[in-house]
A and B are shown apart, each in its own frame.
Chain A
Amino acid sequence: MKFSALVDVRLRGGISDPAGATIERALPALGYQGVEGVTVGKTIRFTLEAETLTEAQTMAEELCESFLTNPVIEDAEVTVEEAS
Chain B
Amino acid sequence: MTVTVGVVVFPGTNCEADALEAVTSLGAQGRLLWHGESDLGDVDAVIVPGGFAHGDYLRPGAIARFSPVMEGVAKFAAKGGPVVGICNGFQVLTEAGLLPGALQKNKGLKFLCQPSVLRVESANSVLTSQAKVGDELSIPINHFEGNYTCSEETLKQLQDEDRIVLTYVDNPNGSLGNIAGVCNETRNVVGLMPHPERACHELLGSMDGAVLLRSLLAS
Residues of A in contact with B (beta carbons under 8 Å apart)? 11, 15-16, 18-19, 22, 67-68, 70, 72-73
* Distance in Å: Cβ of B65 to nearest Cβ of chain A: 9
Q: Which of A18, A67, A73 has a CB less than 8 Å from the CB of B106?
A: A18
Check A16 against B62 for contact (C-beta < 8 Å). no
* Distance in Å: Cβ of A12 to nearest Cβ of chain B: 9
Q: Which of B58, B104, B108, B109 has a CB less than 8 Å from the CB of A73?
A: B104
Q: Which residue of A lies closest to B154 (CB)?
A: A72
Q: A16-B107, A22-B109 are in contact. List 7 more A-B contacts (CB 8 A).
A: A16-B147, A18-B108, A18-B109, A19-B105, A70-B95, A70-B102, A72-B101
Q: Which of A16, A19, A22, A70 has a CB less than 8 Å from the CB of B59?
A: A70
Residues of B in contact with A (beta carbons under 8 Å apart)? 58-59, 62, 66, 94-95, 100-102, 104-109, 147, 149-151, 174
CA A22 – CA B107 in complex, angstroms? 10
Q: Which residue of A lies closest to B101 (CB)?
A: A72
The SS class assigned to the A binding surface is mixed
Check B58 against A68 for contact (C-beta < 8 Å). yes
Check B150 against A72 for contact (C-beta < 8 Å). yes
Q: Which of B62, B104, B109 has a CB less than 8 Å from the CB of A67?
A: B62
List, in ascending order, chain A residues with CB within 8 A of B66's CB. 67
Check B105 against A18 for contact (C-beta < 8 Å). yes
List, in ascending order, chain B residues with CB within 8 A of A16's CB. 104, 107, 147, 149, 174
CA A78 – CA B150 in complex, angstroms? 24
List, in ascending order, chain B residues with CB within 8 A of A18's CB. 104-109, 147, 174
Q: Which residue of B lies closest to A68 (CB)?
A: B58
List, in ascending order, chain A residues with CB within 8 A of B94's CB. 72
CA A16 – CA B149 in complex, angstroms? 9
CA A73 – CA B103 in complex, angstroms? 9
CA A15 – CA B66 in complex, angstroms? 26
List, in ascending order, chain B residues with CB within 8 A of A11's CB. 104
Check A15 against B109 for contact (C-beta < 8 Å). no
- Of the candidates B94, B100, B149, the one having the most CB atoms from chain A within 10 angstroms of its own CB is B149
